[in-house]
Structure 1
Amino acid sequence: MSRSSARGQVEPVAALAVLLAVSSAVSAYAVALDDVGAERRDERELAGPTLDRVTDALVTGGVADPTRTARAHRAGPDGYRVNVTVAAAGRRWHAGATPSPGATTDAASRSVGVRLGPGRVRPGRVRVEVWS
């Protein structure tokens, strides 16, 4: 029996052409996929960063002060409407307009300790709604 030493080998030019074709296809797919999600990503990412800024304005020493809700409301992004709600122990504090029923809002919330009075801290929640 004769054995061929050329078994499984490919010409270098053909291998490079196939590699180039596969690389181009994967790159084109990645670019197209990134472009599709760009519009939704901009809207989706409004509430999270806004919640971070609002929480920074509300929280001192790890505890949220609900009397600062109006000041925290101003931490929203320019060109958008923002509603901030702090809730704890059956009470609620609001700042900002309420979204209309047809408005598309982006919302985010976070658990925080809320100061209800001197030495009285209860678990609560900060919620932010953002819309244009």
Structure 2
Amino acid sequence: MTSEQFHSLLGELARVCGHADPEAFLVHRQLCIEGRQVVLEHNPRHGEDLLQVRMTVGDLPAGAAHLAGAMLDANFMGRGSCVLSLHPDADVVVATTLLRLSSTPTAQDLWQELQQMARACEAFWDSIATANA
């Protein structure tokens, strides 16, 4: 996917998801899905057909340093498919993954995949928080 194709896909995605400010979305590539902040980045160094997705997972509760161990376990067990980290400016857990795009991605397909990722992040975070409460 070229930069132009990525820009075009983002324009379509802004329309499909009803983004309030499509121009800002094209510049910052940030949107909110089911209450989660999502940043999309296409970098040919990762691969022409890969899209990096960073999505907030949840807030790290005060006094919950023990969850850091669970996050590291999840990173190790996931073997790099999705990496959990803490946002540098806040105690917010962020999942970062590379999403492989089809040769002709549609905005509707991407939107549905991002929504599925948001639901999976919610279920995952709930399971970690519950297991480590």
Provide the TM-score with structure 1 as the length reference: 0.24
Structure of larger gyration radius: 1
Q: TM-score, normalised by structure 2?
A: 0.24
**Which structure has more helix as a fraction of its residues?**
2
More relative contact order, 1 or 2 (CA 8 Å, 6+ apart): 2
- Higher share of residues assigned strand: 1
